[in-house]
Amino acid sequence: MEKARARPTVAVVGAGAVGSFFAAHLIAAGSADVTVCVRTPFEELVVESELSGESQRFSPRLLTEPGQVAATAGGPVDWLLLATKAHQTAGAAGWLAALAGPATRVVVLQNGVEHEARVRPWLAHAETEIVPAVVYCGAEVVGPGHIVHRSNGFLIVPAGRTGAALAALYQDSPAGIHLTEDFTSAVWQKLCANVVANGITALTERRVAVMRRPDVSAVGRALVGECLAVARAEGAAIDDGYVDLLLGAVVGMPDGAGTSMLYDRLAHRPMEQDALYGAVVRVGQRHDIATPLHAAFLALLAAIGDEGAVGSGGGTPA
């Protein structure tokens, strides 16, 4: 992470499914000097693709404690990809303090629509740029540093100089960076996609095939309806046809496909219900839009944490 190096320096904080995917492909592209910041160390970063049938292996530079940044004379990096779950942001505060300087661009690879509000309190410098990202990456962690990639593999970020610079880092990589002039619509479309099945699969502990039940699909449709009303109040341009398109895509997913919230539930990890269902409730309240179904899912998913097997937030990067 020495600033004298010609290549830009990039730190990926969190090596879950999303962080591992985008870290691995950035290493493969060779366009940046990449460091992966993790809680649990591993010897190899393995990306097993169900799309190509291939398995790629990498040996990234790993750090396991924020204190190691100063010890290795790393200093602030040019780019920081924050790939923890939304509820783990506070747990990544040490990494943000050690790695983010005034000129650092922090790309937030998290679900939800509150990227700026969630991350800004943990940055020491007001000049640090936050780049919100919509993540489309169907992958599952099957072991430390080992993921199975099943679908998609790209980010949507606001168009502009920073977005173009991020795209340049990945230009020789299968991981795509898509630029949009209408980020509001893009981020709310993704939130609609998140709420339709994440909570249902987590509560039922079943994979996405459960959405093929007509009664369950009807619940998903109602969730999207509430989310869509709030999205439009926020200025998102999403037409009615998106609901059928989304439900059709979810129902048509392979039998083994799951959701990030299901994977967290099965692994007894904290879930991100607040960033998804809670966000719809909060923004709906600002616009005086009732979201009773989201409120119910928020309460039920939060109650799972009361069991003791699953925590209720915080944590550190995977």
Q: Strand, helix or coil at 219?
A: helix
190 catalytic? Reply is yes
Per-residue DSSP letter, 74: -
Residue 160, number of CB atoms within 10 A of its CB: 12
What burial letters (b/e) apply to 63-90, b meaning 16+ CB within 10 Å?
beebeebeeeebebbbbbbbbbbbbbbe
Check the CA dihedral 134-138-142-148 and report its sign: negative
- Give the helix ranges, DSSP H, for the chain: 17-29, 67-71, 93-99, 115-119, 161-169, 183-204, 214-233, 241-251, 260-266, 273, 279-286, 292-304
Per-residue DSSP letter, 105: E
**Cβ neighbours for 175, distance < 8 A, ≥ 6 positions apart:** 21, 22, 25, 26, 153, 154, 155
Cα 152 from Cα 253, distance rounded (Å)? 12
Q: Which position among 25, 85, 87, 190 bears the catalytic label?
A: 190
The first and second tokens of residue 288, run together, are 């005086």
Q: Strand, helix or coil at 99?
A: helix
Cα 208 from Cα 164, distance rounded (Å)? 34
Q: Which residues form the catalytic set?
A: 190
